[in-house]
Structure 1
Amino acid sequence: MSRNYKFHNPNGLYFVSFAVVGWLDVFTRNKYKELFLESLQFCQKNKGMEIHAWCIMPSHIHLIFRSIGKQNPEQLLGDLKRFTSKQIVKEIAENPQESRRENLIASFKSEALKNSNTSQYQFWRHDNKPIELWSNKVIFQKIQYIHNNPVVEGFVSQPEEYLYSSARDYAGKKGLLDDVCVFQYFGI
């Protein structure tokens, strides 16, 4: 297990969580969730991101993935975060119906001023906390954690009821994301 939050194994299966700056609840709007999903699909089809589990919460994302392409996992996740941050900030700034627009944009600008490597806006926090998953038991535990997040928060009573996660795929239903690699685990 990687305890210092680095991607040490380029072929490893990783659990990552990453949040919007200030843990702002940006993903309460379906449009922003859909933009993130489109980016995940692009990474699957064009960048070699193999997705095993995912969940979009209001302020953060949980993801279990492996890089099966030419990019190492750190670069792949960095590309995903850079692209989605630009797209979502642009959508927020241009959405006349976004009642929180001024406050959100001001928060993203304020966070950018705190970082020398961020130019105009900072959408995502810089920490990803990647954990390499080293056993079937740990993989299963992380998948359960991801899928139970919306239940714990009181959004749904069963994981598969939450539309914006891979729990539906694991329940034998069609989820929003194609080609999720459903992990089969037969013992604890």
Structure 2
Amino acid sequence: MARTGRVRCETDLYHVTIRGCGRQIIFEDAVDRNFFLDRLELLAEQERVDVIAYCLMDNHVHIVLFDPEGDLGVFMQRLCCVYARYFNERHGRSGHLFQGRYSSAAIEDVRYLLTVVRYVHDNPVKAGVSGRECYQWSSYRGYVEDRGFVSRSLVYELIGGAVRFVEFSSSEDSRRDLARVMHSDGVGVLEVARTALGGRDPLVIGASPGPERDACIRILSECGLNASEISRITGVSRKVISRVAGQN
């Protein structure tokens, strides 16, 4: 079956993730990371793509992009190819470096962009690697110190500058918005549901009173979970979920 093309988002904002094949390491050291960032900056300028945020982890990368020209596929293909070629040559390996094609999630609401940027910068925190302020391989410090090649103007405009950015990054985020980002990034359904429900076990939903059960189902649906996923983790029938959330 032919691969379907990606649908262009009206805001031209995307959260892109690149993962190592089989979760393998894609950055061995600072030399690798600096090469990737140098090429990210260079290719973004050439393809007229704005890098709004990024975070390099050992086996995956998050990038938030503004792509007004609609050439996201060309940009990502060039970036992935040039880095994979470099990495294989430097480390004496062959074969695929990345896990298939990059994944991209459209950011349909510019205010939702803030939640996505925060999620990206929090990756080293959630992995237990480092605090966001100390992590060298994300764009967080570029926002705080107003430096680097990332395009900060849209986020600053939405949030009110660097000081407010730090305050927002340290505040409690909307559980529902955070769960939406997690789901679009491929995080497990059970973890997404627990985040959206404030830590509650989804299995208790089926035994909850009708109005409470229905409210929880709507929350999970709004986070991007489909009827089959909700049914699997809650025990509620798909028929009930379809009626409550309007899903087939």
What is aligned with 1:42? 42
Give the deviation of 1:173 after TM superposition: 4.9
> CA contact under 8 A between 1:10 and 1:67: conserved in structure 2?
no
What is aligned with 1:180? 151
Higher helix residue share: 2
Q: Distance in 1 between matches of 2:140 and 2:40?
A: 16
Aligned ranges 1:81-160 → 2 under 5 Å? 81-93=80-92, 105=93, 109=94, 121-157=95-131, 159-160=132-133
Report whether the alignment pairs 1:169 with 2:142: yes
Structure 2, unaligned runs of 5 or more: 160-167, 169-173, 175-248
What is aligned with 1:78? 77
Q: Distance in 2 between matches of 1:9 and 1:143?
A: 17
Distance 1:45 1:21, change over 3 A: same
Q: Look up the equivalent residue of 2:116 and give its one-letter code.
A: K
Q: Distance in 1 between matches of 2:124 and 2:98?
A: 20
Q: Distance in 2 between matches of 1:122 and 1:51?
A: 25
Q: What is the CA deviation profile of residues 59-104 of structure 1, one whole-angstrom value per residue up to 9, with x for unaligned ones?
A: 00000012345x61111111111111111111111xxxxxxxxxxx
Distance 1:42 1:10, change over 3 A: farther
Q: Distance in 2 between matches of 1:10 and 1:122?
A: 32
Give the deviation of 1:5 after TM superposition: 8.7
Distance 1:168 1:20, change over 3 A: same
- Secondary structure of the residue aligned to 1:27 is coil
Distance 1:7 1:39, change over 3 A: farther
Distance 1:160 1:7, change over 3 A: farther
Distance 1:85 1:56, change over 3 A: same
Percent identity, please: 17
Higher-Rg structure is 2
- Secondary structure of the residue aligned to 1:62 is strand
Q: Look up the equivalent residue of 2:96 and give its one-letter code.
A: Q
Distance 1:179 1:63, change over 3 A: closer
Q: Look up the equivalent residue of 1:24 and give its one-letter code.
A: Q
> CA contact under 8 A between 1:49 and 1:65: conserved in structure 2?
yes
Q: Which structure has more RCO (C-alpha within 8 Å, separation ≥ 6)?
A: 1
Q: What is the CA deviation profile of residues 101-145 of structure 1, one whole-angstrom value per residue up to 9, with x for unaligned ones?
A: xxxx3xxx4xxxxxxxxxxx2111123221111113321111011
State the TM-score, normalizing by the size of structure 2.
0.57
Report whether the alignment pairs 1:20 with 2:20: yes
Q: Distance in 1 between matches of 2:53 and 2:64?
A: 5
Structure 1, unaligned runs of 5 or more: 94-104, 110-120
How many residue pairs get aligned? The number is 156
Q: Look up the equivalent residue of 1:67 and give its one-letter code.
A: D
